[in-house]
Amino acid sequence: MSDITKQSLSELVENIKSKKLSSSEVTKAFVERSEKSKELNAYITEDYTNALNKAKKFDEKPNLDLKLPGIPMAVKDLFCTRDLRTTAGSKILNNFVPTYESTVTQNIWNEGAILMGKLNCDEFAMGSSNETSFFGNVQNPIDKNLVPGGSSGGSSSAVAAQLTPITIGTDTGGSIRQPASFTGTVGLKPTYGSCSRYGIVAFASSLDQAGPMAQNVKDCALLQEVISTYDEKDSTSIDFKRNEYSKELTKDIKGKKIGIPKEYRVDGMPKEIEDLWKKGIEYAKDCGAEIIDISLPHTNYALPTYYIVAPAEASSNLARYDGVKYGFRAEGENLIDMYEKTRSEGFGAEVQRRIMIGTYVLSSGYYDAYYLKAQKVRKLIKNDFDDAYKKVDAILTPSTPSSAFKIGEKTNDPVSMYLNDIFTVPVNLAGLPGISIPAGHDGKGYPLGLQIIGKAFDEQNILNIAYAMEEKINFKNNINDWWIK
Amino acid sequence: MSIDLKTIKHISKLSRISVDEKKAEKLAGDLNSIFDFIEKLNELKTDNVEPLTSVAETTLKLRSDEVKSKNLRDQVIKNSPNENEDYFVVPKVIE
């Protein structure tokens, strides 16, 4: 079968279960395509030989009752993988080989999947274009020199280019949904507490969530079902009844109330995004949903709030990188000098910038004015959603204020880069689930996404709405394999 | 509000990140534009608002106080940039 890499995850699982394909055949196909796609720079670390060996072993004694039987998968390089280098896209972790496995990846291997390698990302997941990675830019398979979004840019590029049937990313302010939108793929950020943070390189602990990135909603639901578990090793993991998301998936969303928040109509939003949103509303109506105008009055304050809370938590989390226990070390004249040189040489510019912002807002004399203030506004933002959900079951917005931009276009202006996340950040601040689905193209033929935001723990509902809308939208990605010689 | 070079040097010291003059100037420019943008929050009155510290509205689960991981010494030391027997090695701290 020459078209193995064109198959969706669900098709591959079906074909392996019915023995039409072996794990070795599937793994070989994705490894070969990954090897031909080096120009995308989607991988930081390849583990192809081990993957092929594991596939062979799987085929010798296949357990076909598993949910991901012998499925090869590359994952974002923010998840610790035992005995395989985990860098978080940073020089400071360039040589770090974890001695333990993240819970989310362990859940995936427990269901029979096979690790193919680690995917590029912005350094410590801080970025919206994958341009802050120590390991270089990632190309968007949609067009040459186009960013794949970020921070899960290697993940979005790899899924869109079919180098891996599916993958996982992490989302602190939009890092799954924005790259999904930029590459014409599906990305789900689950409710805070749904997926364990154990073994994920920490960025902002009150916001970070892992989630699936896929070619379609059904695949996304299947992976969410696998990765979402209660975990004692993460004190913020929540013990709630989890659905079998893929089995319970339905296109019947008749009578569901979907809110349209007027505050998401931001100044200077391109007409193409406005039109896409209108089209989305029509699709939702066609599916039988009821559309209700709502207000989320503090939307405009979400991004400034995020740029206090996230850097504050980051500055605290990243204090552990001191060149002593693990990671890169620069030699210094004394201990303090060693710390300062290690961190100055080991972290890239964006990470240093955010550590500085975070340190400043937490420093003596500024804590109340910035950090406490931001926590209060965060409460107002969450209250907005709580009020809205008294009237609606879900909320529909664009995923991003623009389509993918060119590499280098926004690197000199941090604030314009931050504005990418204007529609996704409020969801993290409120701890809610959100999914981005591809919904159309702009004038250049680049994909655009719509975001569906749900109530806490209501992943099933937004997956169902996405599933129903996906059928109506009938999106097709225009990828011509330009990078394959 | 304006963050001057003296403040940048102070923050860099607190952050344990060394900065030279050139880097300090760049950072001052970046941080000022970011804080201009953050100042927007001052439009809001928040005197009677409770700060949100966690969106996970659950109480922390208790567990029995038992050791679960044992003999991790080799694993802990494995990624060290410089170790001697079972110790991390750092530049001399006490003269």
Alpha-carbon dihedral of residues A34, A39, A43, A48, nearest 10 degrees? 30
Q: Which two tokens stand for residue A110?
A: 């427990």
Q: What is the DSSP string of A37-63?
A: TGGG--EEEE-HHHHHHHHHHHHHS--
State how many domains chain B has.
1
Query: How far does the CA of residue A192 sit from the closest CA of chain B (Å)?
Result: 7
| Cβ within 8 Å, pair A239-B54 | no
Q: In this structure, is residue B27 part of a structural domain?
A: yes
Peptide bond into A151 cis (omega under 30): yes
Which residues constitute the domain of residue B24? 5-43
pLDDT tens readout for residues A435-478 = 999 999 999 999 999 999 999 999 999 999 999 999 999 999 98
Q: CATH number for the domain including B11? A: 1.10.20
Please enumerate in sequence order all residues whose Cβ is within 8 A of that of A38, keeping only pairs 6 or more positions apart, or say none: none
Q: In this structure, is residue B22 part of a structural domain?
A: yes
Q: In this structure, is residue B24 part of a structural domain?
A: yes
Mutate to test the interface with B, among A91, A241, A356, A364 (most CBs of B within 10 A): A356
- Location of structure tokens 């066609």: A286
Query: Does an H or E element contain A447, and which?
Result: strand A447-454
Dihedrals phi, psi of A349, to nearest 5 degrees: -60, -45
Which of B38, B50, B91 lies at the smallest CB-CB distance from A307? B38
| Cβ within 8 Å, pair A303-B37 | yes
Query: How far does the CA of residue B80 sit from the closest CA of chain A (Å)?
Result: 4
Q: In this structure, is residue B74 part of a structural domain?
A: no
Which residues of A carry out catalysis? 76, 151, 175
pLDDT tens readout for residues A399-424 = 999 999 999 999 888 888 888 899 99
| Cβ within 8 Å, pair A329-B82 | yes
Which domains does chain A possess?
A: 4-263+273-296+386-473 (3.90.1300.10)
Q: In this structure, is residue B34 part of a structural domain?
A: yes
Query: How far does the CA of residue B86 sit from the closest CA of chain A (Å)?
Result: 12
Give whole-number Cα distances, A187 to A72, A171, A178, A215, A292, in Å.
19, 10, 8, 9, 25
ipTM, interface predicted TM-score of the complex: 0.95
Q: What pLDDT score does A375 carry? A: 97
Dihedrals phi, psi of A369, to nearest 5 degrees: -65, -35
pTM exceeds 0.90, yes or no: yes
Q: What pLDDT score does A425 carry? A: 98
Q: State the 10-residue block means of pLDDT for chain A, 485 residues long.
A: 87 98 98 98 98 98 98 98 98 97 98 98 97 98 97 98 98 98 98 98 97 98 98 94 97 98 90 96 98 97 97 98 96 96 98 97 94 97 98 98 94 86 97 98 96 98 98 95 94
The answer to whether the Cα torsion of B78, B81, B83, B89 is positive or negative is negative
Q: In this structure, is residue B75 part of a structural domain?
A: no
Q: In this structure, is residue B26 part of a structural domain?
A: yes
